Amino acid sequence: MIEVLLVDDQTLLRAGLRAILENADDLTVVAEAGTGREALHRAREHRPTVILMDLQMPVMGGVEAIEALRADPLLSATPVLVLTTFDDEDDVVAAIAAGANGYLLKDIEADDLRRSVREAAGGRAQMSPGVLRQVMDRLARLPTRQAREQSVAGLTERELEILTQVGLGLTNEEIGRALFLSPETARTYVSRLLAKLGARDRAQLVVLAHRAGLVP
């Protein structure tokens, strides 16, 4: 059973999310929180499988809460899915840096939300195309040459090819087909990139690929 902690300051929205998630046999909401600070307490109490978190909240916002979760040895590996209206792209970019595992828009379809939670529980990052597009537009305004030097220096040509494919949103299987590699070899390269670039997850690799100018 995948246990979810819902974090949002809107009670009605939390009720709707609970109803959507618990419509599936393998998902359950173990706790709710209305602020980032309350989310930390609930997470320590219930140790959820996945945390679904808003960014704009009173007392402690989502970005600060993610930073606190990542600093807690007991919760640092807990997947955090940001659920946002994308009112402030600064917050979303900050959430990426803080270590969020995925970024979804609040207009997401019910089936897609449940699928994203399952994917996050399985260690696979999720990013809504709408969020990805706007974040990448923001990152595209960074100096490409300087960003490339800072973020991908030292990578081999093959690793740059793999990173480019990750930036395009391809799975390991799709990368293997595109570059004539086995899925296992592609997976090994992705793991190596995570270690070399100090990225927490695949979503951060996507950001790095765009920031370095590898993806048009």
Classify domain 2-137 at the CATH class level.
alpha beta
**Per-residue model confidence as pLDDT tens digits over 82-100:** 888 765 566 777 777 778 8
Query: Packing angle between helix 172-179 and helix 157-167, nearest 10 degrees?
Result: 130
- pLDDT of 149 over the 70 cut: no
**DSSP per position, 107-166:** T--HHHHHHHHHHHHTT--EE-HHHHHHHHHHHTTS-HHHHHHHHSTT--HHHHHHHHHH
Average pLDDT along the chain? 84
Structural contact between residues 210 and 136, judged by C-beta atoms closer than 8 angstroms: yes
User: In the predicted model, what is the mean pLDDT of residues 121-136?
Assistant: 69
- pLDDT of 48 over the 70 cut: yes
Token pair listed for 125: 């990052």
pLDDT recorded at residue 215? 77
pLDDT recorded at residue 136? 59
List Cα–Cα distances, 160 to 63, 145, 164, 216, in angstroms.
30, 15, 6, 14
pLDDT recorded at residue 144? 47
Topology given in CATH for the domain delimited by 143-211: Arc Repressor Mutant, subunit A (1.10.10)
User: In the predicted model, what is the mean pLDDT of residues 95-110?
Assistant: 82
- Of 210 and 27, which is predicted with more confidence? 27
- pLDDT of 156 over the 70 cut: yes
User: In the predicted model, what is the mean pLDDT of residues 160-183?
Assistant: 88
User: In the predicted model, what is the mean pLDDT of residues 137-163?
Assistant: 68
- pLDDT of 150 over the 60 cut: no
User: In the predicted model, what is the mean pLDDT of residues 9-31?
Assistant: 94
The half-sphere exposure of 117 on its side-chain side, counting CA atoms within 13 A, is: 29
pLDDT recorded at residue 110? 92
d(CA 63, CA 191): 26
pLDDT recorded at residue 95? 79
The domains of the chain are located at 2-137, 143-211
AA letter at 136? M
AA letter at 28? T
- Of 141 and 47, which is predicted with more confidence? 47
- Of 34 and 126, which is predicted with more confidence? 34
pTM: 0.66
